Amino acid sequence: MTKNKNTLKRLIFGLVILSVIIYITGCDLFSSDDLNIIQNNEYDPGSSLYIGTNPLTPSKSLSEGKPIFTWSSSPLANPVYHLQVSENADCSVPIINEAGLTVMSYEVPEYLPNNTTLYWRVSVTDGNGDEIWSPVQVLAVKFIVPVKFISNGKFHTAAIKDDNSLWMAGDNFYGYLGIGNTDNYDYPVKVMDDVRFVQVTSHPSAEERDTQVYVITTSNTLYAWGKNSEGQLGDNTTDDKILPTLIMENIIKVAGSGVHTIAIDTDGKAWAWGRNYDGQLGDGSQLGKISPVAVSLASNVKDITLEDRASIAVLNDGSVYSWGAGWWASTITPQVKTVSVSVNNIYSCSSNTYLLDINNDLWAVGENGNGTIGDGTTIGRNDPVKVLSDVSYVNGEHSHVLALKNDETLWKWGNSIVSPAEFMADVLNVSAGVTFDFAVKSDNSVWVWGYEPSYGATGDPNIQAQSSPQEVVW
């Protein structure tokens, strides 16, 4: 009996020692043989590890193309995880290779490659320094990248998506879409990547389809394409372009009127090219230019806006200069204007100029046709009058104006509406066109309204003329 008790004691002691050894070495960690993988973030308490991602279905949600990979905790003290995501089934060439993770999730910072099948796995390092990998998981990636900025002309539209890709739709008569042909497209087609700004010109006094597209990339390089009869593309020719054409580097802003163009470089210097009948290039002459020439201003230009015959600039000190021929301009070299406020940004619509001051108050000056000044009258104004407060952005075209407030409400006036009227809520970006307008809302949905567009310019051939906004998918 005593012998049996001693044997039992030795057996219990041995089991305790073995348990301690297993705990210290981590031998009770999960292995690829006993892993129970649970999809869609469901957790099975009996599994050692689970893996899940947020669903990837076509949606406008910003998170759809940037999933969060998750997994369960390891029983090890202070575990360290390793995530791999690859286009190869064996994860041999990972596009994401994040080691040293101490949390049980990883949020992808950039969009995954769209319309692809990806493979991914996660590991933990055991007490022997060995990585124990989960089985490889399959992830079908398909999502709609949302639009964050839009600009439209009379017959075509350009949109920058959240991944900085540029897409266009509509009239392509002079190669406006920048895709190497002149075929019209009534649905969005991709043009290029790494774009942070786009302007589609469409001045109503220009020839009906005589417009251009200007793009600034994320590296501050200026490209242009489209009609070039006046040298308004600035590539030292008058040849039309059907592909993005490099114009200048180190550019932070650009504005085109349809017949002339001005850009601001990273040093604050303004450069101009195109038509110059009225001295709108500001170089002291009335000779047109087909490549950039310096505007006669100091190197501290902050913002620029154009009419077809005039140009207006804001300097870093808040002062305003104009030149050319217009309601507020009458010289071939820049002349300072008398303004009672310090101006931050400047905009134009037809023969009207809009000044956004440092307090976010909007002021306007000009001929005021169709009530485009927004002061409750149709009387022309030689001196700026206050129009609206708490404004963040303005965009006008032809005979109407759209203004965004900081509370994301959209206001409009013109077309015989003589005072600003609230039109939409939750708006992030707007673009006013000759015949139709666009808005990008805070949920990244895109809306359009106005006269019936031609050539599929809205990106949706089913859109009809309507005064109230209709949603379109880009």
Q: What is the pLDDT of residues 319-335, one digit of tens each?
A: 999 999 999 999 999 99
| Residue in 187, 200, 116, 193 with CA at minimum distance from that of residue 473 | 187
Residue 39 tokens read as: 């999809």
- Which residue did the predictor score with more confidence, 297 or 10? 297
Band of residue 8 on the pLDDT scale cut at 50, 70, 90 = very low
**pLDDT of the residue at 203:** 62
Give me the mean pLDDT over the 153-164 stretch.
92
Residue 226 tokens read as: 């489209």
- Which residue did the predictor score with more confidence, 377 or 79? 377
Q: What is the pLDDT of residues 168-221, one digit of tens each?
A: 999 898 888 999 999 999 999 999 999 999 999 976 555 566 789 999 999 999
- Which residue did the predictor score with more confidence, 74 or 197? 197
Is residue 65 classed as helix, strand or coil in its secondary structure?
Answer: coil
Q: What is the pLDDT of residues 240-266, one digit of tens each?
A: 999 999 999 999 999 999 999 999 999
The answer, yes or no, to whether residue 33 has pLDDT greater than 70, is no
Can you tell me the distance from the alpha carbon of 198 to that of 256, in angstroms, rounded to the nearest whole number? 11
- Mean predicted lDDT score pLDDT of the chain: 85
The mean-pLDDT minimum among 113-117, 304-308, 310-314 falls in 113-117
The mean-pLDDT minimum among 87-91, 236-240, 279-283, 348-352 falls in 348-352
Band of residue 145 on the pLDDT scale cut at 50, 70, 90 = confident
Reported pTM: 0.80
Domains of the chain, first to last? 23-141 (2.60.40.10), 147-472 (2.130.10.30)
- Work out whether strand 310-315 and strand 94-101 pair parallel, antiparallel, or are unpaired: unpaired
CA angle, 408 then 413 then 417, to 5°: 140
Give me the mean pLDDT over the 59-85 stretch.
75
Band of residue 364 on the pLDDT scale cut at 50, 70, 90 = very high
Can you tell me the distance from the alpha carbon of 439 to that of 269, in angstroms, rounded to the nearest whole number? 32
**pLDDT of the residue at 207:** 54
- Which residue did the predictor score with more confidence, 56 or 199? 199
Going from the C-alpha of 236 to that of each of 80, 258, 273, 278, 295, the distances in angstroms are 58, 17, 9, 21, 17
Whether 201 and 257 have beta carbons less than 8 Å apart is answered as yes
Give the contacts of 355 (CB within 8 A, at least 6 positions apart). Answer: 314, 320, 339, 341, 343, 345, 346, 362, 363, 364, 365, 384
The answer, yes or no, to whether residue 409 has pLDDT greater than 50, is yes
